[in-house]
Amino acid sequence: MRTKTILIIILTALFTIFLMINTDAVQFDFIFMKKDISKLVVVGVCTFIGFVLGFWVGRPKTTVTSYDKEIEQHSNTVNKSTLSDEDRDYIN
């Protein structure tokens, strides 16, 4: 196994152990009320939200660069009369 895979397995096991140890209920203050909730649920939900936000912020953007626009614009303005018959056959 690769080092990265072993590290992921170890971190997942440690996180699972951490969640299983913290199952007792704790009083949390919400905006309008107080509620007893398991620490397991709070830590799990916060971790899930963190992963989703991290993925959303860190994903690569799919934008068209100016170079792509220039190529697109140039390909639309190519004069077909200057092309050879072989080139026209290839394009079509």
31-35 long-range contacts, Cβ below 8 Å, gap at least 24? none
Structure tokens at 83: 């092309």
Q: In terms of Cα–Cα distance, which of 4, 1, 23 is closest to 12? A: 4
Structural domain of residue 25, as residue ranges? 1-62
Whether residue 39 lies inside any domain: the answer is: yes
Spatial separation of the C-alpha atoms in residues 41 and 24, rounded to whole Å: 10
Q: What is the pLDDT averaged over residues 73-84? A: 63
Is position 5 within any domain? yes
Task: Give domain status of residue 47, yes or no.
Answer: yes
Query: Angle at which helices 39-58 and 3-21 pack, to 10 degrees?
Result: 150
Q: Within a domain: residue 69?
A: no
Residue 80 counted as domain residue: no
The total of structural domains in the chain comes to: 1
- Is 88 within the bounds of a domain? no
What does the pLDDT read at residue 23? 80
* The pTM of the whole model exceeds 0.75: no
For the chain, give the mean pLDDT. Answer: 80
Asked, for residue 12, whether it belongs to a domain, the answer is yes
Helix (H) or strand (E) holding 21: helix 3-21
